[in-house]
Structure 1
Amino acid sequence: MSGPIVVVGAGQAGFQAAVSLRETGFAGPLTIVGDEPGLPYQRPPLSKAYLLASPDDPDTVTLRPQAFFERHTLKVVHDPAVAIDRPRSRVRLRSGRAIPYAHLVLAVGARARKLPVPGSDLDRVLTLRTRAEADVLRGLLREGIRVVVIGGGFIGMEVAAAARKAGAHAIVIETLDRVMARVVSPETSAHVEAVHADQGTAIVLGRSVTALHGVAGTVSEVELDDGRRIPADVVVVGIGVVPNTELAQCAGLEVGDGIVVDEQLLTADPRISAIGDCASYPSKHAGSRARLESVQNAVDHAHHVATRLTGAPSQAYAQVPWFWTHQFGMRIQTAGIGRADDLRVLHGDPTEGKFSVCRYQGDRLVAVESVNRTGDHIGARKVLAGAQHPTPHQVTQPGFTFKAFAAQTATAAR
């Protein structure tokens, strides 16, 4: 392809799409359209180390300096896209300017879900999706402040850990019966809850928030469905995200839980791809459509589309999904996608703080969650990408490692 390519979205997926296009030989005009000021940056640190850093510390989240974009002729436009003119192959920006494209990559991401209760518009009720939001929260975190986190997913538990490290009081409110229930097994949830409890995080399970109350326009209490009122100086809402599908929908593209794409990450319009957090794609590993929110998903989607657009043969997208979170001394890494009815087999000893949960559908390994066992995680990614998987019995045998199994199966396949 030699015509201009426009990437809408300046997050991890959009940035990587532009970089991968240059790396795979695309030399034509390439524009990244963003809706935030500044250069593209990483989001994962925003709920972890970034919250504990001083504003005077070196910038560790910007993906590349300005010189990189100039050297690779990557144009970044800080002017949000407001419409796609498909008949004319143009993207219209808020300023009224229109940018032509031979191919359009939608990497528009997702936005934080708002808390739908009275008082959610009070001051110091925050979500955490952008650098600007993280800057606000970082400016509030200090010793003794009372932080209530609504939502016990990855973001919520990471924020709670950062708050405790800053000396703040932290309490997590989760509607389900365990933290991170949508993404990890009961065994991993129990370990996370125990570590947080040891570090002073209070966790309230099985309760929902019905209202937020304030004094002089600033939040002061969180009311639960059992009538309890929890004092709060800051409330952080981490109840998931909503994919940004409006631009695609207004252009007549199919959307559902995300922008609908095929196994090549193409929409029904062959001139438009969608990648990253906003894309709903057929996943071999989920066994259905999936919309995943991870750096791995964003980067691998971007590589795949860049390869396809530069003319290299491209098979259906089938990369193994993986996710991670750091909280206190825990490094939790998941490869694959688990289901609620999985058979779960422990590899290692949770009492030692180092173990993996191997999740099976029948005898088929579908996911491995590793707590402080990075070797298991790396090996499991290789195993899940291959055709041969260890049985539940094999992973319980003394001396079993995913690394060794992956090496043996690779040798046997030659």
Structure 2
Amino acid sequence: MSAERTFVIVGGGLAGAKAAETLREEGFDGAVVLLAAEHEPPYERPPLSKGYLLGHDERSKAFVHPEQWYADHDIELRLGARVETLEPAEHRVRIAGGDTLTYDRLLLATGSEPRRLDVPGSDLDDVRYLRELPDADRLLDVLEPGHRVAVVGGGWIGLEVAAAARTHGAEVTLLELADLPLQGVLGNEVARVFAGLHRDHGVDLRLGAQVREIVGADGRVVAVVTTDGDEIMADTVVVGIGVRPAVDLAVAAGLDLDDGVVVDAALRTSAPDVYAAGDIASIDHPLLGTRLRVEHWANALDGGPAAARSMLGQDVSYDRLPYFFTDQYDLGMEYIGHAPPGSYDEVVLRGDVDARAFHAFWVRDRRVRAGMHVNLWDDGIAPVEELVRSGRSVDAERLADPEIALSDV
């Protein structure tokens, strides 16, 4: 009977919280223990660079549930509980401080951690990363008119931080090693849209720029110096150069890894009764036919519940398509599918790119591998998802014609 079983969830983010919620919704009445290394109840990360950092949303809106919700649903939430070792053969975890827990089934949902900038001066107090809620708190304290912010990295986090900083009136310089922000993610055609967006809102884009050092005085940031010798005066530096999956536990436990923790379509790892979801899960994707690890919000939102159902013995085949969204100034975007560099033949644009109201499709062999819409909210992302999922052959000219419904291309 489930009342005699203990399910342990390691990781206090969205995936872990949604897994715990799903276990109760599906009728599991055994013990559920959620081990969160942070001292905050589980929260969603998009508000950190979007609504909360912009000042539009209250801090509390980031939390998946109020803290009392966990007690009300008989979920043992342990905050500040950092798991030091996972011992699959013994079905046991050891927590910092000496406590141990045995489990019947365990979910690893440890998320990811920021890649660190390794240059002289990168240890100064005013060099920030945006991964945890207190990081957003600290940034909000300084984002104000006249404050000089240097953002290192032109990915999603870097661009969203730049947009939030400009919205608060701060002066922003963004340094990106590539020729365009988001170049590797979106390709040149769409990346130019985001470059123009930020320039139009007063961001000083320094492209092809690599940081050589961060100069400080009296322990405070003064400037960022590039390898070309350019000196950018700054009061705060925000580093957004990517993340790495937090797989140290999995490595020490001997789990199979391939970029992240290897799981099958049911989110089962190589160790009996151990599952993985969210940023760390390298999934054998049944629809895309490839192994895939996704770091975006929707993967945690959907992957946690899928893992919970799999832990309960249900038939699970996790085939959700990668999905992400962004809000920057007056631009809102949704993207779905999987089109890494080199996986597509052409990018088909549909609509008014100059007005930033368009679709983009990444196409290979007449099949849409991924698609996005920018500021086209009437139909949203659903018809784009249908195109990707269907795998049907499309005509590029019809796909580019906004007078033809996407269902008819």
- TM-score band w.r.t. shorter chain: over 0.9
Shift of 1:233: 0.3
User: What corresponds to 1:319 in structure 2?
Assistant: 320
Rounded Cα–Cα distance in structure 1 between residues aligned with 2:136 and 2:248:
25
User: What corresponds to 1:412 in structure 2?
Assistant: none
Matched AA of 1:350: V
Rounded Cα–Cα distance in structure 1 between residues aligned with 2:94 and 2:255:
16
Change (3 A) 1:123 1:397: closer
Matched AA of 2:201: Q
Match of 1:308 among 290, 300, 310: 310
Verify: 1:363 aligned to 2:366, yes or no: yes
User: What corresponds to 1:229 in structure 2?
Assistant: 231
Farther off after superposition, 158-167 or 261-270: 261-270
User: What corresponds to 1:28 in structure 2?
Assistant: 30
User: What corresponds to 1:83 in structure 2?
Assistant: 85
**Does the CA-based 8 Å contact 2:371-2:388 persist in structure 1?**
no
Change (3 A) 1:405 1:10: farther
Change (3 A) 1:33 1:389: farther
User: What corresponds to 2:389 in structure 1?
Assistant: 385
Task: State the secondary structure of the residue aligned to 1:87.
Answer: helix
User: What corresponds to 1:349 in structure 2?
Assistant: 352
Farther off after superposition, 386-395 or 160-169: 386-395
Rounded Cα–Cα distance in structure 1 between residues aligned with 2:368 and 2:180:
24
Q: Deviations over 1:73-124 (max 9, x none)?
A: 1111121111112222111111211111111100000111100111100120
Q: Under a length normalisation based on structure 2, what TM-score does the superposition of the two structures give?
A: 0.94
Task: State the secondary structure of the residue aligned to 2:61.
Answer: coil
Matched AA of 1:278: I
Map 1:61-80 → 2, pairs under 5 A = 61-78=62-79, 79-80=81-82
Rounded Cα–Cα distance in structure 2 between residues aligned with 1:175 and 1:58:
33
Change (3 A) 1:42 1:398: closer
Matched AA of 2:142: L
Farther off after superposition, 164-173 or 174-183: 174-183
Verify: 1:167 aligned to 2:169, yes or no: yes
Matched AA of 1:384: V
Shift of 1:287: 4.7
Task: State the secondary structure of the residue aligned to 1:183.
Answer: helix
Rounded Cα–Cα distance in structure 1 between residues aligned with 2:298 and 2:358:
22
User: What corresponds to 2:329 in structure 1?
Assistant: 328
User: What corresponds to 1:120 in structure 2?
Assistant: 122
**Does the CA-based 8 Å contact 2:282-2:291 persist in structure 1?**
yes
Q: Deviations over 1:350-406 (max 9, x none)?
A: 02220011111111110002111232522112332335353323313453233x459
Shift of 1:306: 1.9
Matched AA of 1:71: D
Shift of 1:186: 1.9
User: What corresponds to 2:186 in structure 1?
Assistant: 184
Change (3 A) 1:20 1:61: same
Rounded Cα–Cα distance in structure 2 between residues aligned with 1:183 and 1:313:
33
**Does the CA-based 8 Å contact 1:333-1:370 persist in structure 2?**
yes
Task: State the secondary structure of the residue aligned to 1:351.
Answer: coil
Work out the percentage of aligned pairs sharing the same amino acid: 35
Change (3 A) 1:396 1:51: closer
Q: Deviations over 1:257-309 (max 9, x none)?
A: 21122222111112101110111122356553221111111122122222222
Rounded Cα–Cα distance in structure 2 between residues aligned with 1:213 and 1:222:
6
User: What corresponds to 1:409 in structure 2?
Assistant: none
Q: Deviations over 1:8-36 (max 9, x none)?
A: 00101111111112122222111110011
**Does the CA-based 8 Å contact 1:285-1:366 persist in structure 2?**
no
Question: Which runs of no fewer than 5 residues in structure 2 stay unpaired?
Answer: none
Change (3 A) 1:100 1:391: farther
Rounded Cα–Cα distance in structure 2 between residues aligned with 1:391 and 1:28:
53
Instruction: Could you list the structure 1 runs, at least 4 aligned residues long, displaced by more than 4 angstroms after superposition.
Output: 284-287
Rounded Cα–Cα distance in structure 2 between residues aligned with 1:395 and 1:178:
26
Farther off after superposition, 155-164 or 385-394: 385-394
Rounded Cα–Cα distance in structure 2 between residues aligned with 1:285 and 1:211:
44
Rounded Cα–Cα distance in structure 2 between residues aligned with 1:246 and 1:332:
34
Matched AA of 1:366: R
**Does the CA-based 8 Å contact 2:209-2:227 persist in structure 1?**
yes
Farther off after superposition, 34-43 or 255-264: 255-264
Change (3 A) 1:40 1:398: closer
Change (3 A) 1:358 1:26: same
**Does the CA-based 8 Å contact 1:152-1:179 persist in structure 2?**
yes
Map 1:130-279 → 2, pairs under 5 A = 130-279=132-281
Q: Deviations over 1:202-257 (max 9, x none)?
A: 11111110111100111111010101111110000000011111111111112242
Shift of 1:158: 0.3
**Does the CA-based 8 Å contact 1:376-1:401 persist in structure 2?**
no
Change (3 A) 1:24 1:388: farther
Task: State the secondary structure of the residue aligned to 1:129.
Answer: coil
**Does the CA-based 8 Å contact 1:390-1:405 persist in structure 2?**
no
**Does the CA-based 8 Å contact 1:184-1:369 persist in structure 2?**
no
Matched AA of 1:60: K
**Does the CA-based 8 Å contact 2:92-2:100 persist in structure 1?**
yes
Task: State the secondary structure of the residue aligned to 2:186.
Answer: coil
Verify: 1:395 aligned to 2:396, yes or no: no
Aligned residues: 403
Change (3 A) 1:198 1:320: same
**Does the CA-based 8 Å contact 2:189-2:347 persist in structure 1?**
no
Q: Under a length normalisation based on structure 1, what TM-score does the superposition of the two structures give?
A: 0.93
User: What corresponds to 1:298 in structure 2?
Assistant: 300
